[in-house]
Amino acid sequence: MVFSVPTIDISPYVTARQSADRSFVATAVDQACVDVGFMQILGHGIAAEVQAGLASALDDFFGMSLAEKGQYRVPGSNRGYSPPKSESLSLSLGVEAANRMNDFFEAYNVGVEARSFPHLDLDEADYGINLWPDVPGFQDRVSRYFLEAQRVARTLTSIFADALGTERTYFEAMTDHSIDVLRLNNYALPPGTDVSLDGDLTGMSEHTDFGIVTVLWADQVAGLQVLDKAGKWHDVMPADGALLVNLGDLTARITNDRWMSTLHRVKPPLVGGTIRRRRSAAFFHDGNADAVVGTHPSLLDRGDGLVYEPITVRDHVAAKLAGSRQGRKNLASLREAERVLASSGRQG
């Protein structure tokens, strides 16, 4: 079977279209989640100027020197700047990288804060505190895109509820104060960098995403690769006007692996010994920190029965972050680790 990432127009859920149109979308999403765990979405409603504003903000920040960007590093926090080689996402799965902390990308994270929900007594340790760089217009441009991506993520969970045949409030109950993070990623060698190109260069090592759903804006530049069910890697890039969407670990838990939390990585191409620049922005919709996520009752009898024990979003995300940021293997992700090791670098 030829591998492909389905393209789905979700506009019936964005505009006031008929229920029959929505049923068609929900069926297509269900099939994509079963077969691939990745999809491309059109009709998402994010204006071109909002996307352009995000791209320009990304360029403005990452165009600064390493020393300037380093002022916005917040160790131990899921906020601010992460320089090249400060992470190894494969460790979030319990897989040892050939060179520890060797992921080549640099990133900048912003997200919802505890004070985003003043009616709740939430802990900033779970939600983080944003650090906005002193770059003209950066906060406004990024915030505009953040709100739009958040809307799209919530639209997708509505589609998920219909696709699974669950009550509409199922996802709403676990995401009404969701840990939402936008991660701006840059794959490039800045002038004067001391980052070496020795060894097996990894843009972003093999990993699954942590939460419920990820909405990805990305350049049409090669690099992103997705692992299929046969253990082969395939190149994926967005179509014109499309956003890439993939499921996270928590959705795999909810569906008892009916839907896939798909392994993916970034292998930036080398041209003449230098990296061709690639940009992306991943919006992670991870769920409420205190939500307990388990398999939906309707899917408990699927396959061999219960696959995953219930876990809080807080504990799951903490274990994954401890792997990628602190270099500690996440021994709770044995199923995902087995898939990485079985792939053996094969590419379709």
Helices (H) and strands (E) in the chain, counts: 10, 16
Q: Is 247 helix (H, G, I), strand (E, B) or coil?
A: strand
Q: How far apart are CA 243 and CA 75, in angstroms?
A: 30
Span between the terminal Cα atoms of the chain, in Å: 11
How far, in Å, CA of 156 to CA of 212, rounded? 10
The b/e string for 135-172 (b: 16+ C-beta within 10 A; e otherwise) is beebbebbbbbbebbbebbbbbbbbbbbbbebeeeebe
**77-92 pLDDT, tens digit each:** 889 999 887 655 545 4
Is-contact 207 92, C-beta < 8 A?
yes
Q: pLDDT (tens digit, 9 = 90+) per residue, 281-297?
A: 999 999 999 999 998 88
Rg (CA), the chain: 19
With CA atoms as reference, report the closest residue to 249 among 328, 334, 147: 334
| DSSP string for residues in 4-16 | ---EEE-HHHHTT
Write the pLDDT tens digit of every residue in 286-338. Answer: 999 999 999 888 888 765 666 788 999 999 988 877 754 444 444 455 555 55
* Two structure tokens written together for 118: 């003043």
Instruction: Give per-residue pLDDT as tens, 198-253.
Output: 555 666 778 889 899 999 999 998 889 999 888 899 999 999 999 999 999 999 99
pLDDT confidence band for 176 (50 / 70 / 90): very high
Q: What is the CATH number of domain 46-147+169-343?
A: 2.60.120.330
